[in-house]
Amino acid sequence: MIYTCNQTLQLQRAYANNVTLKPDLNTLEDLKNSGWAPLSVKKEIAKNVVMRVRQKLPIIKGFIGYDDSVLPQLTNALIAGHDIIFLGERGQGKTKLARGLVELLDEWMPIVKGSEINDSPYNPVSKYATQLVNELKEKTPIDWVHRSKRFGEKLATPDTSVSDLIGEVDPVKVAEGRYLSDELTLHFGLIPRTNRGIFAINEIPDLSERIQVSLFNILEERDLQIRGFNVRLPLDIFLVASANPEDYTNRGRIVTPLKDRFGSQIRTHYPKDIALETSIILAESSQPLVSEPIVKVPSFITEIIATISQLARLSPHVSQQSGVSVRMSITNYENVVANSVRRSLANDELTAVPRISDLQSLLPSTTGKIEIESFDEDESDTIIEKLLRSAVHSVYKATVPPENLGLIISEFDGGKVFVTSSELSSKSYITSLSEFSSLKALSETLCDANPDDAEIASAAELILEGLYLAKRLNRDSSGDGSVFRIRDVASGNSRKL
The per-residue DSSP string of 32-46 comes to HHHT-----HHHHHH
pLDDT confidence band for 220 (50 / 70 / 90): confident
Question: Can you state the angle between helices 379-399 and 299-312, rounded to 10 degrees?
Answer: 130
pTM, 2 dp: 0.82
Residue percentage of the chain with pLDDT more than 90: 61
- Residue 188's DSSP bridge partners are 167
- Given this model, what pLDDT does residue 252 score? 59
Are the CB atoms for 293 and 345 separated by under 8 Å?
Answer: yes
Q: Is the pLDDT of residue 232 over 60?
A: yes
Radius of gyration of the chain (CA): 30
User: Burial, 496: exposed, middle or buried (Cβ in 10 Å; 0-12, 13-18, 19+)?
Assistant: exposed
Residue percentage of the chain with pLDDT more than 70: 85
pLDDT digits (tens, 9 = 90+) for 290-316: 778 999 999 999 999 999 999 999 999
Homologous superfamily of 5-267: P-loop containing nucleotide triphosphate hydrolases (3.40.50.300)
Q: What is the mean pLDDT of the chain?
A: 86
pLDDT digits (tens, 9 = 90+) for 247-270: 554 455 788 888 888 999 999 999
pLDDT digits (tens, 9 = 90+) for 86-116: 999 988 999 999 999 999 999 999 999 999 8
User: Burial, 377: exposed, middle or buried (Cβ in 10 Å; 0-12, 13-18, 19+)?
Assistant: exposed
- Given this model, what pLDDT does residue 247 score? 57
pLDDT digits (tens, 9 = 90+) for 432-468: 999 999 999 999 999 988 999 999 999 999 999 999 9
H/E stretch holding 276 reads helix 274-284
pLDDT digits (tens, 9 = 90+) for 147-165: 999 999 999 887 888 778 8
- Residue 141's DSSP bridge partners are 27
User: Burial, 114: exposed, middle or buried (Cβ in 10 Å; 0-12, 13-18, 19+)?
Assistant: exposed
Number of CB atoms found within 10 A of residue 260's CB: 12
- Given this model, what pLDDT does residue 235 score? 86
- Given this model, what pLDDT does residue 378 score? 63
- Given this model, what pLDDT does residue 15 score? 43
- Given this model, what pLDDT does residue 319 score? 86
H/E stretch holding 54 reads helix 41-54
Domain-wise residue ranges, the chain: 5-267, 274-486
Q: How far apart are CA 457 and CA 459, in angstroms?
A: 6
Q: How far apart are CA 28 and CA 449, in angstroms?
A: 65
- Given this model, what pLDDT does residue 12 score? 44
Task: Quickly list H helices, 55-153.
Answer: 70-80, 94-100, 127-136
Q: Is the pLDDT of residue 196 over 90?
A: yes
Q: How far apart are CA 109 and CA 120, in angstroms?
A: 9
* Distant-in-sequence, close-in-space partners of 323: CB < 8 Å, separation ≥ 6: 89, 90, 91, 92, 244, 246, 270, 313
pLDDT digits (tens, 9 = 90+) for 339-364: 999 999 999 999 999 999 999 999 88
Closest CA relative to residue 175, chosen from 183, 185, 166:
185
Cα of first residue to Cα of last residue in the chain, in angstroms, is: 80
- Given this model, what pLDDT does residue 394 score? 97
pLDDT confidence band for 418 (50 / 70 / 90): very high
- Given this model, what pLDDT does residue 181 score? 56
- Given this model, what pLDDT does residue 392 score? 97
pLDDT digits (tens, 9 = 90+) for 122-149: 999 888 899 999 999 999 999 999 999 9
